Amino acid sequence: MEFEKYIRDIPDFPEKGIVFKDITTLLINSEVFSKVIDKMAESYKKKKIDKVVGIESRGFIFGGMLSYILGAGFVPARKAGKLPHKTIRESYSLEYGESIIELHEDSIKKGDKILLVDDLLATGGTAEAVVKLITRLGGEISGIEFLIELDFLNGREKLDGKKIHSLIHY
Amino acid sequence: MEFEKYIRDIPDFPEKGIVFKDITTLLINSEVFSKVIDKMAESYKKKKIDKVVGIESRGFIFGGMLSYILGAGFVPARKAGKLPHKTIRESYSLEYGESIIELHEDSIKKGDKILLVDDLLATGGTAEAVVKLITRLGGEISGIEFLIELDFLNGREKLDGKKIHSLIHY
């Protein structure tokens, strides 16, 4: 299935010169959306995954479903100040300035097998920060699933050595 | 199953005097989380649901899974400025000031049967605003599912006449 034909291009969003990849046109189509999730889950069904980590906020949509299918717990990686209990945090660079991402420090145990998921791999800064957090807590990353990868931004290089899979490449 | 024993109380979060209901301790337990989703889906499995609307951002976790199980599309209701295409919007009151919630105007068609989902029913302001948006687009609300309902805040009154179900009551 050609998943990319269900993605809508939005020129000049969120700012001039950027073509935003709108995934809502894919999510709304239940048949296509189910196939996306099944594809993401495919290579993990025979492995033991303890936790699926989803990155706020579109990663929650995919992460919740994958945790259900794989019989794993769900762990949200959230922006600074959103998680209410004790957290660990990493900062990462954005085009202008930087941002912070957090995990609850009791969300992952040493040796937990982790599947990390987000909608988009762009420069890889966010995913790299979350990989660091998972690793600091002793989690072992079994793989990273993205719906979309913007190949020309080379985000994959920041996640060197990890098993990365994206369903759509630009 | 007593779901409430998997919810963690966080005193004085996000501000002094408020006891925050932390659901991450439930999400992390795959067995409990699966049961929550199955309970939420239970009364809709024999009905036709066209779209599940999840409210940003914890509603995405439950909404994604429910759409998968029910064979429905997923529609995110998001805070102002996050949805890239043409939107309709409603404002709603918070304790201090107000906030805005949006739907893509092409996300729901006239006559679509909608299941609305969020993690928490508190004062009901957000859910009421999303109900208005769905109704403006011609959607018919088959039901609203919450993980937690804070009964003492009477949020249910704002959603009068709708089929509302919450798994945990305080």
**CATH 3.40.50.2020, domain B40-169, yes or no:** yes
Sort out which chain A residues have CB atoms less than 8 A from B57's CB and list them.
56-57, 60
Question: Which residue of chain A has the CA closest to B78?
Answer: A57
CA–CA distance, A10 with B104 (Å, rounded to integer): 13
CB contact under 8 A, A68 and B71: no
All residues of chain A having their beta carbon less than 8 Å from the beta carbon of residue B84 are 10, 13-14, 20, 22
Distance from the Cα of A20 to chain B's closest Cα (Å) equals 8
Q: Is A8 on the interface with B (CB under 8 A)?
A: yes
Contact A75 B24 (CB under 8 A): yes
Length of chain B: 170
Nearest alpha carbon to residue A89 among A74, A104, A110: A104
Confidence band for A97, pLDDT divided at 50, 70 and 90: confident
Mean pLDDT of A141-150: 98
Contact A28 B68 (CB under 8 A): no
Q: Please state the rounded mean pLDDT for residues A114-133.
A: 97
pLDDT of amino acid A101: 98
- Span A6-12, mean pLDDT? 97
- Evaluate if pTM is beyond 0.90: yes
A104, B45 Cβ separation under 8 angstroms: no
Interface test with B, best of A61, A85, A106, A118 (most B CBs within 10 A): A61
Minimal C-alpha gap between A162 and chain B (Å): 23
**Chain A residue closest in CA terms to B108:** A28
B32 touches chain A (CB under 8 A): no
ipTM score of complex:
0.96
Which residue, among A16, A18, A19, has the nearest Cα to A7 in the 3D structure?
A19
CA-CA-CA-CA torsion sign (B80, B170, A83, A119): negative
Domain boundaries, chain B: 40-169
Residue with tokens 């073509």: A19
Structural contact between residues A30 and B115, judged by C-beta atoms closer than 8 angstroms = no
Q: What is the mean pLDDT of each run of 10 residues along chain B (170 residues)?
A: 95 93 98 97 95 98 96 98 98 87 98 98 97 98 98 95 97
Catalytic residue IDs of A = 58, 95
**pLDDT attached to residue A23:** 98
Residues of A within 8 A of B73 (CB-CB) are 27-30, 33
Q: Catalytic residues of B, which ones?
A: 58, 95
Q: Residue A160's pLDDT is what?
A: 87
Give CA–CA dist B122/B124, Å, rounded: 5
Which pLDDT does position A96 carry in this prediction? 74
Confirm or reject contact between B109 and chain A (CB < 8 A).
Answer: no
B13 lies within 8 A of chain A by CB: yes
User: Cis ω on the peptide bond leading into residue A14 (within 30° of 0)?
Assistant: yes
What distance in Å separates residue B162's CA from the closest CA in chain A?
A: 23
Determine, for residues B65 and A65 on separate chains, whether the beta-carbon distance falls below 8 Å. yes
Q: Which residues of A fall within a CB distance of 8 Å from B10?
A: 84-85
Quote the pLDDT of residue B96: 74
A46-81, pLDDT tens digit by residue? Answer: 999 999 999 999 999 999 999 999 999 999 999 999
